[in-house]
């Protein structure tokens, strides 16, 4: 992360997620070991296999001790309890993360 960084816009896009049946799954970016906003897929009306996409977008205030260092960005996913469907990835799935560094006064 650049030394001058104060804020970052983080956008993670998943395309070609394979969902089947009653699926309720959440996705979120994680920065500095902290989960960010959660974005959900709820397919309670799908009775067959289909594909969907999910976008996770967050504005992150960068911690001062992280400036000028390398930091890990993670994507977390998890099914909610008592769902009968599923979600998986395969060769048709793409994951793209875009991070925009924003310089501010500090």
Report the domain count for the chain.
Answer: 1
Local structure of residue 64 (DSSP, 8 states) = G
Token readout for 45 is: 């009306």
Residue 53 is part of a domain; what is its CATH number? Answer: 2.60.120
Grade residue 28 by pLDDT with cuts at 50, 70 and 90: very high
Residue 89, pLDDT > 60, answer yes
Grade residue 20 by pLDDT with cuts at 50, 70 and 90: confident
Cβ atoms 26, 78 nearer than 8 A: yes
d(CA 68, CA 66): 6
Contacts of 71 (CB under 8 A, 6+ apart): 1, 31, 32
Range of the domain at 95: 5-103
- Residue 102: predicted pLDDT: 93
Residue 36, pLDDT > 70, answer yes
Digit-coded pLDDT (tens) for 49-63? 888 999 999 999 998
3-class state of residue 65 by DSSP: helix
């Amino acid at each position: 992360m650049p030394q001058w960084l104060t804020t970052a816009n983080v956008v993670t896009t998943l395309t070609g997620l394979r969902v089947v049946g009653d699926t309720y799954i959440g996705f979120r970016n994680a920065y500095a070991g902290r989960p960010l906003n959660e974005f959900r897929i709820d397919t309670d009306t799908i009775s067959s296999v289909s594909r969907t996409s999910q976008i996770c977008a967050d504005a992150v205030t960068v911690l001062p001790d992280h400036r000028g260092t390398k930091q890990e960005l993670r994507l977390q996913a998890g099914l909610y309890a008592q769902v009968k469907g599923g979600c998986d990835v395969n060769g048709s799935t793409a994951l793209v993360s875009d991070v925009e560094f924003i310089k501010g006064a500090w």
